[in-house]
Amino acid sequence: MLDEKRIVVTGGTGSLGKVLVRRLLSGELGKPEKIVVFSRDEAKQHSMRLEYQHKTAATDEVIYHNFQQILQFQIGDVRNIHSVSSVLRDADVVFNAAALKQVPACEYFPYEAVMTNIAGPENIVRAIRENRLPVETVVGVSTDKACKPVNVMGMTKALQERVFLTANMACPDTRFICVRYGNVLASRGSVIPLFHDQIAAGGPVTITDDKMTRFLLSLDKAVDTIFAALREAKCGETYIPRVPSARVIDVASALIGDRDIETRITGIRPGEKLHEILVSEEEANRTIERGAYYVIRSILPEVRDSEDISPALTTEYSSASDLMTAEQCLDLLKSHNLMVEDKVEYEGELLR
């Protein structure tokens, strides 16, 4: 499917981007002609370049033969239309993983989130439209916080979805699709590395509310969702993985185990939900099942096909709907080697 394709991964040095690049290089969808990691952090790019060339220190051939490799690196920012137009000029497939995703940071600097999470996607659409670029597919990566959003990060990601899905009308030769998923188990900044750090420090482990629930999935499951959408999605569709959810307090208890560590309830933080939602009530009416995924059809009748459907859901798809037991939560964490005694790596950093 991706044989001889030219691929761009924006935000390719982040948690998801790195796993996505690894999977693309594995050849499971075919051997691309080139994969370009497009981001603005030169240090992360350099570290990633060394990692893929199995080197511990830079030499001339590492730096100066960048554009002779299948995996290439390009400094740039999705906020800048000129950078975006340059990197997309011969792209076939674009994965947009660039984002400001930390909820508090987006609350304090909302316009920065607007620029990256909304203007960035619009620049991708604009570059394709104004330069008539022959991009075949653009995949927008979204989050459960975009569904009925209560914080700036979710609001901006919700608009990212709309920017991309509406672009199917402005750029009819390009397929724009999205994926939306919940908490990633091994991404830096999420709850599990926080709990690991708190346990390593002897506690307390802080829980905002003992009733709080979250969807949980691995980075590889997130990439599975992206690949499923790439293979199967029609214009304007959003792919949702059907994944387990758990009470956050059960996650903490599983990680603490028999250790004598206090669990402290601190209260829900600003911009935080008790339960996350992957499909809203409104979206449920146009959601179908396709394999292991829920698929939300476009809100725009001009984009979605006219096929009559039987909705797969009758109500919203919430993290409170079908919770794992405490034992199942423990088994999930063990299956992904995420217990405190494991050597857990987050974005290239070993926790211990």
Assign residue 321 the CATH number of its domain: 3.40.50.720
Q: H-type helices in 201-345, by residue range?
A: 219-232, 248-256, 281-284, 326-335
Which pTM does this prediction carry?
Answer: 0.92
Output 332 or 56, whichever has higher pLDDT. 332
The number of domains in the chain is 1
Packing angle between helix 326-335 and helix 248-256, nearest 10 degrees?
60
Looking at residue 346, its pLDDT comes to 55
Decide if 119 contacts 84 (C-beta within 8 A). Answer: no
Is residue 215 a part of any domain in this protein?
A: yes
Q: What is the rounded distance in angstroms from the CA atom of residue 59 to the CA atom of residue 43?
A: 15
Considering only CA atoms, give the Rg of the chain: 20
Q: Name the residues annotated as catalytic.
A: 145
Residue 54 lies in a domain: yes
Inside any domain, residue 1: no
Question: Tens digits of per-residue pLDDT, 183-229?
Answer: 888 676 678 889 999 999 999 999 999 999 999 999 999 999 999 99
Residue 27, in any domain of the structure: yes
- The rounded distance, in Å, linking the Cα atoms of 145 and 8 is 25
Q: Where are the alpha helices (DSSP H) in 79-151?
A: 81-87, 103-108, 110-114, 120-131
- Structural domain contains residue 103: yes
136 assigned to some structural domain: yes
Note down the domain range covering 131: 6-350
122 found inside a domain: yes
Residue type at 32 in one-letter notation: P
305 within a domain of the structure (yes/no): yes
